[in-house]
Amino acid sequence: MLNERSVGLLAASLSLSTALTLFGGISRADATGTTRIQHRDSDVTDYRHTRFTIDNHALSLTSPDGKAKLTIALIGCVKTGELHTCQPGGAEYRKNGAVRAVNITSGTLYFNPTGEKLPLSLSSTQVPPHGVILTIHTARGTYLSATGKIDGLK
């Protein structure tokens, strides 16, 4: 029997066909970057050397010590010029063997498959070569932003 979480993850999985089209030649890619988490109580935690992985049409952020991992499904991807823009779908957080669903209320992920910096529209921000920039907001009031390079987006 399907519960609400299963239905949501199934819907996110079905929507990943768009990401498959955009990232068809990429099966797995790894690199590192920086992740910033602002909690509901305004406490901020920065993680340098976060590992960025694209695998099975999802972006995973793994903590520097390898003990925590956030996996975000990539859905609704579109390509504008050379820049790919995706919405976050279902997400899960794994730490010390425990798994928790993450309810993302909004967010955007930008992927740059080129060897040059690409500007975001109407912004001074640039997506690094072979890189990703993402921001998400969760139902628990947490904001997450991350920037990193993903080897293999070539």
pLDDT digits over 88-112, tens only? 998 999 999 999 999 999 999 999 9
On the question of pLDDT at 66 being above 80, the answer is: yes
Which segments of 12-142 are extended strands (E)?
A: 28-38, 44-55, 58-62, 68-80, 83-95, 98-102, 104-112, 118-119, 126-127, 131-138
Q: Give the domain 4-149 fold.
A: outer membrane lipoprotein receptor (LolB), chain A (2.50.20)
How would you classify residue 89: left for phi > 0, otherwise alpha for psi between -120 and 50, otherwise beta?
Answer: beta
Alpha-carbon span 108 to 113, nearest angstrom:
16
On the question of pLDDT at 115 being above 80, the answer is: yes
On the question of pLDDT at 24 being above 80, the answer is: no
